[in-house]
Structure 1
Amino acid sequence: MMTYTREKNTQLLISLLKQHGVRYVVASPGNTNTAFIGSIQGDQYFTIFSAVDERSAAYMACGIAAETGETVVISCTGATASRNYLPGMTEAYYRKLPVIAVTSSQPIANIGHLSAQLLDRTVIPKDVAKLSVNLPIVKDNDDVWECEIKINQAILESCRHGGGPVHINLPTTFTKPFDVNKIQHARLINRVTIDDQFPLLEDKKVAIFIGSHKKMSKDVESLIDRFCEENNSVVFCDHTSAYKGKYRVHYSLVSGQEYNSIITERPDILIHFGEVTGDYYNLKIAAKEQVWRVSDDGEIRDSFRKLRYVFEMSLNSFFLNYVGHGTEINISYYETCKAKLDQVRNNIPEIPFSNIWAASQVSSKLPDHSVIHFGILNSLRSWNFFDIPDTVTSDSNVGGFGIDGNMSSLIGASLTNPEKLYFLVNGDLAFFYDLNVLGNRHVGANIRILLVNNGKGTEFRQYNHHANYFGEDTDKYIAAAGHFGNKSKSLVKCFVENLGFEYICASDKQEFLFQIDRFVTKNVQDRPMVFEIFTNSNDESCALEKMLSIDIDKKIVRKNKVKSVVGTSVISSVKKILGS
């Protein structure tokens, strides 16, 4: 009977080598690679050759790869063994030969502490490997995930864009005995190009998730609509997704509900494209089975930790493959999700004067064909609860996800079309962080800024934010309260008016409603505008809590109460005892 090492990182490597069809191994003798070689030497799947000299081993792998067209693994121990791979790996690099160098080692934490037979492999010459990864020693599920991703990346890269060598550093803990009969199965990720056979979608519940995305062509939007109709699909997106088609659902108000479950809306397969998203709540819609990532770059982006395929192609190429195969239109999935969203929205309670309340009043009144930008986190989240007119486009700096530069991005965009209105919703810390751009001589009259001034980084004072653990003490340094005039009624007013802006303000709902028509005036006026509203963090937190507590399932409420009383660790222990 075949037996394997107990070391999980090695098990995962073996599992994925098999699933990717890698069978040739050239092994060099050593101690740190015992977990790997000792495990595969009795496994009939692998064809293993021995080479004492690592220089020869690497060149032997080049010969095998060139002759067979298959990927070849070379395995060595610590010390200078891997240095001897460099000539052969360089040859493989310039000939684009798929060679995987698995260099075993002591834990990399020992580097720099005079450990014998331990070299630093974290940086390698540019032309010996297309990709170099260091695997963790597996201690928890996060380490399993990291191993799966890095191993898949490396193996896929060895055959990508013509092929070439890659490097996997495999640390060992020298664990004995070798008594594992069945290795841990690792999640396989495949890359699909336009020339490959596409996987099937038959009889699967399918949804689309779009992260932040550049402006989308009408042709692609139309293809997405056809895909939804032919595959009974729905598009989950937010105000940075750029999709304005028929089947979009801004679902964060539903997916954010703390006392209800969205399990009935969760798809079997989630098609993911776009970049970083600020819509944290919709990330909970992760597929039951698989995520398919579509991107021109073809990179592995496992946002949902269920990635199965990466389609290295344009959206147009992807969706063209999955439309035109049926004539029946079925949109029941979309209708179910839309009905659920409408149900929750129809029960929004009275909420305090806040960013969320402002969004509820302004979102539907934005002038046609205008543009709106959102500050990250609180502003974007608040406005994602509500739809904006179809002709209004929106954006947010969710790439780097910092508070700097929101106004500068808005100003830059506004310069391209002086006749179009450009709005921004921003918190006070972000506003003052980027203040100097308002003095730029190119600022046009088409700018409208809604400044939500609560005197701090109110995000850190939300009822559900971990930093609010410190209560009022959070304000001292984490939420940075009290800066920039501490909600001065004259600071922003005097500053922007001296720069030629129109200034209006509100401290409560009545004052806000009195000013709102001026702020959303349809045409470009004679000067830019700042609308400063003064809120407080308690009201901001209360508003968010009310919005996330609309749809209540009593079973979930009871379960949460039990967790708060006995703790999650006790519940986990009971489940283990019961075998559930």
Structure 2
Amino acid sequence: MESKFKYTTERNVQIVIALLKAHGIHRVIASPGTTNMTFVVSIENDPWFKIWSSVDERSAAYLACGMAAETGEPVVISCTGATASRNYMPGLTEAYYRKLPILAITSTRGNHKVGHLVDQQIDRRNLPNDIAMESVTIPMVKDKEDERYCEIEANKAMLALTMNGGGPAHINMYTKYSHDFSITEIPNVNAIYRHTVFDKEWPAMPQDGKIIVRIGSHADFTESLTKAVDRFCATHDAVVCCDHTSGYRGKYEVHAQLVCGQKQWSSELTKANLCVHIGEVSGDQFCIRAKHTWRVSLDGALRDTFGTLRRVFMMPEEEFFNHYSDKDNVHTEYLDSLNSEIQALKEKLPELPFSNIWMAQHMVDKLPSGCELHLGIYHSLRSWNFFKLPVGIQAKCNVGGFGIDGGVSTMMGASFAHPEKLFIGVLGDLAFFYDMNVVGNRHVGNNVRIMLINNGKGNEFRNYNHPCYFLGDEADKYIAAAGHYGNKSDRLVRDYATDLGYEYFSARNKVEFNDVIDRFLTTTKIDKPILFEVFTETDDESCALEMVLNTVIDKKDVFKHTVKKAIKSFMGDSAIKCIKGIVGK
């Protein structure tokens, strides 16, 4: 007789069940209880699963050890929320030291009830070090973000069963005791698979759609890794999407921020099928998006930066790129098309206000050969990312922690290590003053050039596309921290720098800037470090960014004028001035 019970409506439980199937896990030993009801009832009528019952959880864990050792396959154990989970510990300890793939799924009403004298609420937030390779929590699902989180965490636990030799893992799964088991088919979930160099078969590279290599912050590329990436791109007609911390300077390098960042126009070239993701945190928020992501990293961790992670290759990057390369194929069609589009947008850029972006635009091709550029978070990095650096120049930025502190010190440390190389830093005022003590370090040499962009605040919080922009001048009080450090004093930095032996000069407009920029970038050997203080205004910085991100407007004239009228009625003439710069009217 067919059961009237199908799958639970609890989406988090559905996700775990679907991923068990996707990862080929079908053996389950279930112990009695209420909090694991939605899981056990959902799988007991699913022919994929083979289920055994064990009243004693301690015995259940050891049963799983014997079964896993015999079959070489993972085994799930499921229990309720009270002391049942404690009884798994001896068996999970055995599994840990024998590297047996046991997945313990303990059910709970939620961590928010722990510690409040609620019955059967055992605290499983911190486990002994030797009973699980990975421990995750699968909460109730309220929205798409929760769903994505549950998918990642469940994949993480299941993949841990076989990672680094294997061992037990733990899922602590929430429930609300739903009585609704009416779901006949579980909606799609995103399984993630891990691969190593020891795999007998590697997944096939997709043949349809564009392929990009996306690089976050990365150590400077070796010659052999650069060649491997270039061969991969030549084989698959791929491009390498970089920001200035990517470390790659090969043939297929593209800085597509101008194209990808456009707010009122979408390029077909920014729609890819596969992203091969290497490196770490990136400061590029505008890069090409892809339907699927393959992550390549020695750590083998699930880093779902773009929400589309499908495979993780736990191996050296060079191994991956060489495996998927064909030396006989050479394609550059995608590269040529994207570069042409980037160049066309550069030529369409209007005259920008005096700002960080304007300075980057006019400095980038003047940078001395072989210098190293250090950029502050975040406006300076973004401003320079719109423009590709000349060949032979590397850039660095503290994107790991992504905070304003330490940028000057990081540059100085690099300059100490290579006194023969020229180091140029571009930083905002808050970042500079936060880290200004290192400016007085006695080891600072004549190979240091600092450009201080001083707008008297954290201008990032006042840029038109920032979440705090709606606050207007009100943001200056505390959010943007305006008025500190001399409030754009003409003398403070000048006196500090010159007293410390720096050559100092300043600029407040384009004319003054152009008068001294050649001196700042001179390749002639000088006997002092240089500090160049550039004063800019809040509105100019914001307007320049808005103009760059709206270089192409794919709208009818009527619509443009309607928008302009609406903006004027709500924001005033200053906004209209900026819009006129964008549309050129």
- TM-score for both structures, normalised by structure 2: 0.94
Distance (Å, rounded) in 2 between the aligned partners of 1:540 and 1:371: 25
Distance (Å, rounded) in 2 between the aligned partners of 1:435 and 1:397: 16
Q: Where in structure 2 are the equivalents of 1:81-100 lying within 5 Å?
A: 81-100=84-103
Determine the structure 1 residue equivalent to 2:571. none
Q: Alpha-carbon deviations, 1:471-518, whole Å to 9, x = none?
A: 110000000000000000000000011111110110100000000110
The answer to whether the aligner puts 1:461 opposite 2:457 as a matched pair is no
The answer to whether the aligner puts 1:291 opposite 2:296 as a matched pair is no
The one-letter code sitting in structure 2 at the alignment partner of 1:316 is E
Distance (Å, rounded) in 1 between the aligned partners of 2:8 and 2:557: 42
Secondary structure at the counterpart of residue 477 of structure 2: helix
Instruction: Confirm or deny: 8 A CA contact 1:8 1:184 kept in the other structure.
Output: no
Determine the structure 2 residue equivalent to 1:549. 550
The answer to whether the aligner puts 1:178 opposite 2:192 as a matched pair is no
1:159 to 132, 151, 162: 162
The answer to whether the aligner puts 1:189 opposite 2:186 as a matched pair is no
Number of aligned residue pairs: 560
Compare 141-150 and 522-531 and name the one that shifted more.
522-531
Q: Where in structure 2 are the equivalents of 1:407-426 lying within 5 Å?
A: 407-426=408-427
Determine the structure 2 residue equivalent to 1:222. 227
Q: Alpha-carbon deviations, 1:274-294, whole Å to 9, x = none?
A: 000001111xx2212x10000
Q: Where in structure 2 are the equivalents of 1:495-510 lying within 5 Å?
A: 495-510=496-511
Determine the structure 1 residue equivalent to 2:104. 101
**Which ranges of structure 2 fall in alignment gaps of 5 or more residues?**
567-585
Q: Where in structure 2 are the equivalents of 1:109-188 lying within 5 Å?
A: 109-188=112-191
The answer to whether the aligner puts 1:442 opposite 2:446 as a matched pair is no
Aligned pair in 2 of structure 1 residues 201, 363: CA closer, same or farther (>3 Å)? Answer: same
Determine the structure 2 residue equivalent to 1:482. 483
> What's the offset of the Cα at 1:263?
4.1
1:79 to 79, 82, 98: 82
The one-letter code sitting in structure 1 at the alignment partner of 2:220 is K
Alignment RMSD? 1.7
Aligned pair in 2 of structure 1 residues 264, 420: CA closer, same or farther (>3 Å)? Answer: closer
> What's the offset of the Cα at 1:79?
1.0
Aligned pair in 2 of structure 1 residues 33, 464: CA closer, same or farther (>3 Å)? Answer: same
Secondary structure at the counterpart of residue 388 of structure 2: coil
> What's the offset of the Cα at 1:394?
0.6
Secondary structure at the counterpart of residue 181 of structure 1: coil
1:257 to 257, 262, 265: 262
Q: Where in structure 2 are the equivalents of 1:381-396 lying within 5 Å?
A: 381-396=382-397
The one-letter code sitting in structure 1 at the alignment partner of 2:127 is I
Q: Alpha-carbon deviations, 1:528-570, whole Å to 9, x = none?
A: 00000000111000100111110111179969989x99xxxxx
Compare 471-480 and 191-200 and name the one that shifted more.
191-200
Compare 451-460 and 197-206 and name the one that shifted more.
197-206
Determine the structure 1 residue equivalent to 2:309. 307
Determine the structure 1 residue equivalent to 2:579. none
Determine the structure 2 residue equivalent to 1:578. none
The one-letter code sitting in structure 2 at the alignment partner of 1:323 is S
Distance (Å, rounded) in 2 between the aligned partners of 1:559 and 1:25: 62
Instruction: Confirm or deny: 8 A CA contact 2:407 2:435 kept in the other structure.
Output: yes
Structure 1 segments of 4 or more deviating over 4 A? 555-562
Distance (Å, rounded) in 1 between the aligned partners of 2:525 and 2:15: 60
2:47 to 37, 44, 47: 44
Determine the structure 2 residue equivalent to 1:576. none
Q: Alpha-carbon deviations, 1:138-179, whole Å to 9, x = none?
A: 000001000000000100011111100011000101112211
The answer to whether the aligner puts 1:56 opposite 2:45 as a matched pair is no
> What's the offset of the Cα at 1:202?
4.5
Q: Alpha-carbon deviations, 1:192-229, whole Å to 9, x = none?
A: 10011221125232111111101110111011111111
> What's the offset of the Cα at 1:523?
3.6
The answer to whether the aligner puts 1:275 opposite 2:280 as a matched pair is yes
The answer to whether the aligner puts 1:352 opposite 2:315 as a matched pair is no
> What's the offset of the Cα at 1:447?
0.4
Distance (Å, rounded) in 2 between the aligned partners of 1:25 and 1:253: 52
Distance (Å, rounded) in 1 between the aligned partners of 2:63 and 2:271: 49
Distance (Å, rounded) in 2 between the aligned partners of 1:279 and 1:168: 34
Instruction: Confirm or deny: 8 A CA contact 1:259 1:557 kept in the other structure.
Output: no
> What's the offset of the Cα at 1:262?
3.2
Secondary structure at the counterpart of residue 337 of structure 1: helix
Determine the structure 2 residue equivalent to 1:575. none
Secondary structure at the counterpart of residue 527 of structure 1: coil
Q: Alpha-carbon deviations, 1:69-100, whole Å to 9, x = none?
A: 00010000011110011100000001110000
Instruction: Confirm or deny: 8 A CA contact 1:405 1:434 kept in the other structure.
Output: yes
Aligned pair in 2 of structure 1 residues 560, 274: CA closer, same or farther (>3 Å)? Answer: farther
Distance (Å, rounded) in 1 between the aligned partners of 2:123 and 2:540: 53
Distance (Å, rounded) in 1 between the aligned partners of 2:123 and 2:261: 45
Distance (Å, rounded) in 2 between the aligned partners of 1:56 and 1:455: 67
Identity of aligned residues (%): 51
Instruction: Confirm or deny: 8 A CA contact 2:219 2:247 kept in the other structure.
Output: yes
Distance (Å, rounded) in 2 between the aligned partners of 1:556 and 1:154: 54
Instruction: Confirm or deny: 8 A CA contact 2:260 2:270 kept in the other structure.
Output: no
Instruction: Confirm or deny: 8 A CA contact 2:58 2:87 kept in the other structure.
Output: yes
Instruction: Confirm or deny: 8 A CA contact 1:421 1:523 kept in the other structure.
Output: no
The one-letter code sitting in structure 1 at the alignment partner of 2:551 is I
Distance (Å, rounded) in 2 between the aligned partners of 1:176 and 1:186: 23
The answer to whether the aligner puts 1:198 opposite 2:202 as a matched pair is yes
Determine the structure 1 residue equivalent to 2:271. 266
Distance (Å, rounded) in 1 between the aligned partners of 2:315 and 2:154: 22
Distance (Å, rounded) in 2 between the aligned partners of 1:345 and 1:103: 57
Distance (Å, rounded) in 1 between the aligned partners of 2:59 and 2:457: 64
Aligned pair in 2 of structure 1 residues 313, 558: CA closer, same or farther (>3 Å)? Answer: farther
The one-letter code sitting in structure 1 at the alignment partner of 2:489 is S
Q: Where in structure 2 are the equivalents of 1:19-30 lying within 5 Å?
A: 19-30=22-33
Q: Where in structure 2 are the equivalents of 1:235-254 lying within 5 Å?
A: 235-254=240-259
Q: Alpha-carbon deviations, 1:397-452, whole Å to 9, x = none?
A: 00000100000000000011111100000000000000111111111110000000
The one-letter code sitting in structure 2 at the alignment partner of 1:463 is Y
Instruction: Confirm or deny: 8 A CA contact 1:5 1:178 kept in the other structure.
Output: yes
> What's the offset of the Cα at 1:521?
0.4
Distance (Å, rounded) in 1 between the aligned partners of 2:46 and 2:559: 51
Distance (Å, rounded) in 1 between the aligned partners of 2:177 and 2:34: 8
Distance (Å, rounded) in 2 between the aligned partners of 1:194 and 1:249: 29
Aligned pair in 2 of structure 1 residues 560, 110: CA closer, same or farther (>3 Å)? Answer: farther
Aligned pair in 2 of structure 1 residues 558, 307: CA closer, same or farther (>3 Å)? Answer: farther
> What's the offset of the Cα at 1:327?
2.1
Distance (Å, rounded) in 1 between the aligned partners of 2:218 and 2:458: 27
The one-letter code sitting in structure 2 at the alignment partner of 1:321 is H
Distance (Å, rounded) in 1 between the aligned partners of 2:73 and 2:430: 56
The one-letter code sitting in structure 1 at the alignment partner of 2:395 is S
Secondary structure at the counterpart of residue 281 of structure 1: coil
Distance (Å, rounded) in 2 between the aligned partners of 1:84 and 1:329: 60
Aligned pair in 2 of structure 1 residues 352, 88: CA closer, same or farther (>3 Å)? Answer: same
Instruction: Confirm or deny: 8 A CA contact 2:270 2:289 kept in the other structure.
Output: no
Distance (Å, rounded) in 2 between the aligned partners of 1:557 and 1:519: 46
Distance (Å, rounded) in 2 between the aligned partners of 1:198 and 1:339: 35
